[in-house]
Structure 1
Amino acid sequence: MRLARQPLFAAALAAPLFAAAALPAAAEPYAIDPSHTSVTFSVDHLGFSVVHGRFSEFEAEIDFDPDAIETASVAFTIKAATVDTGWGPRDEHVRGADFLDVEAYPDITFVSKSVKLISAERAEVTGDVTIKDVTNEEVFEVVLNKMGPSPFNPDQTIAGFTVTGTIDRTDYGIGYGAPAIGVEMPIRIDLEASPAG
């Protein structure tokens, strides 16, 4: 879900705000704040309940020019072994060959291909997701929650985003327990990012 210098998403959505604020137009890397970023997912369990999980280690990269949104790029990498569903035995199973096989495939990645602005606060980011060496094109919606100076440090600009989408795990060769164990997996990324310079 390298899944992104997440800021890229931010940049794409925030372009109109950059222009409105008359900020200088130049490609600029953003860096995520890991203490205020989360990567989560959910899976239906036999129709009885929904299991929620998260990944605790990830890296993001982004390059963005507010005057050339179409050239923005995002890459995001998740460390598969950091999956956490709140129950140790299940986590070990998910790390094994039936699911993520983290020893053979340590990374889950997203690399953007295009950004389509829907409004000043929303965008669709299309890119390649790779899980267990299987790559599929996926589309994620990105919402700009808020962008502005930090109330604790006016010299620091913060952009907050919510990224959502759904993937079919069987498209990546992860068919264990399907369809009793949910196939379609909603993904959500909540993040804060700031200019890296």
Structure 2
Amino acid sequence: MLLRNFSTFVLAPLLGLSLSSTVSAAEPQTWLLDPVHTQIVFFADHLGFSHGIGRLKIKQGWFQFDADDWSTARADIVIDMDSLDMGDANWTEKVRGKAFLDTRKSPTAHYIGHSLEKKTANSGILHGELWIRGNRRDVDLDVTFNGAGNDPYAFKTKAGFTATTTLNRFDFGMTSFRDVVAGPVELRIEVEGIRSRRKEIQIHGIEKQ
């Protein structure tokens, strides 16, 4: 399951340390995340009977991607943890609470993707880092490139990806209620990026926790 202020979705391609640098792209292969069409869905085992389903929205972010050169891919994504929706108001508030996401202290999560390893014509592994509740872990995303082209309704050039991974909530300080909610949490991230003509992208500073 998916945080302290990581001021700055997958998803990238698709939260201590101090990090602040500017990357200049030789070509403007930069895509700003469309917050309407970029969302995160996760699944966690509940008592062995079913898998609870949660949804999160991204706050902001971008990815750098060139279909002809996957080695240039990078991502910087901030997740709005207060956007959590478990499909039930009481359950949503419980998961937002201290035992789980603790969104009062950590309202955002942060993922930085450093490199995209191409595996097939349209799939690869995005290697990166995830911060949740002040805890950092290396997290790789299995990424499928869905395509790029013109959105005839928005009149913009877009690129889309699907990314999946499995996290262990215990790794991010969520160790309560082990007998109720299992440790492994499956994530599916749907990403749409809008082509940006900005020649510089900023990797946002992260306050050391």
Q: What TM-score bracket applies, with the shorter chain setting the length?
A: 0.7 to 0.9
Partner of 1:20: none
1:39 and 2:48 aligned? no
1:125 and 2:133 aligned? no
1:147 and 2:116 aligned? no
Q: How far, CA to CA, are the matches of 1:183 and 1:62 in structure 2? A: 29
Partner of 1:171: 171
Residue 86 (structure 1) shift: 0.8
Structure with the largest fraction of strand: 2
Residue 65 (structure 1) shift: 5.2
Cα pair distance change 1:168/1:85, threshold 3 Å: same
1:78 and 2:90 aligned? no
1:160 and 2:172 aligned? no
Corresponding letter in the other structure for 1:143:
T
The answer (yes or no) to whether the contact 2:38–2:57 under 8 Å persists in 1 is no
Corresponding letter in the other structure for 1:43:
A
- Alignment partner of 1:61: what SS? strand
Cα pair distance change 1:57/1:3, threshold 3 Å: closer
Q: How far, CA to CA, are the matches of 2:148 and 2:66 in structure 1? A: 16
- Alignment partner of 1:171: what SS? helix
Q: How far, CA to CA, are the matches of 2:180 and 2:153 in structure 1? A: 48
The answer (yes or no) to whether the contact 1:166–1:185 under 8 Å persists in 2 is yes
The answer (yes or no) to whether the contact 1:3–1:109 under 8 Å persists in 2 is no
Structure with the largest fraction of helix: 1
Residue 116 (structure 1) shift: 0.4
The answer (yes or no) to whether the contact 2:10–2:189 under 8 Å persists in 1 is no
The answer (yes or no) to whether the contact 2:42–2:186 under 8 Å persists in 1 is yes
The answer (yes or no) to whether the contact 1:5–1:31 under 8 Å persists in 2 is no
The answer (yes or no) to whether the contact 1:63–1:73 under 8 Å persists in 2 is yes
The answer (yes or no) to whether the contact 2:142–2:164 under 8 Å persists in 1 is yes
Any idea what the Cα deviations from partners look like across 1:89-140, whole Å, max 9, x if unmatched?
A: 1111111111111111111111112210112200100111111111000110
- Alignment partner of 1:91: what SS? helix
Corresponding letter in the other structure for 2:178:
A
TM-score (norm 1): 0.81
Residue 57 (structure 1) shift: 4.1
Worse overlay, 163-172 or 99-108 = 99-108
Cα pair distance change 1:42/1:54, threshold 3 Å: same
Q: Share of identical aligned residues, percent?
A: 28
Partner of 1:17: none
TM-score (norm 2): 0.77
Cα pair distance change 1:97/1:35, threshold 3 Å: same
Q: CA RMSD in A?
A: 2.2
Equivalenced residues, count: 180
Q: How far, CA to CA, are the matches of 1:41 and 1:124 in structure 2? A: 19
Q: How far, CA to CA, are the matches of 2:128 and 2:79 in structure 1? A: 15
1:195 and 2:195 aligned? yes
Partner of 1:90: 91
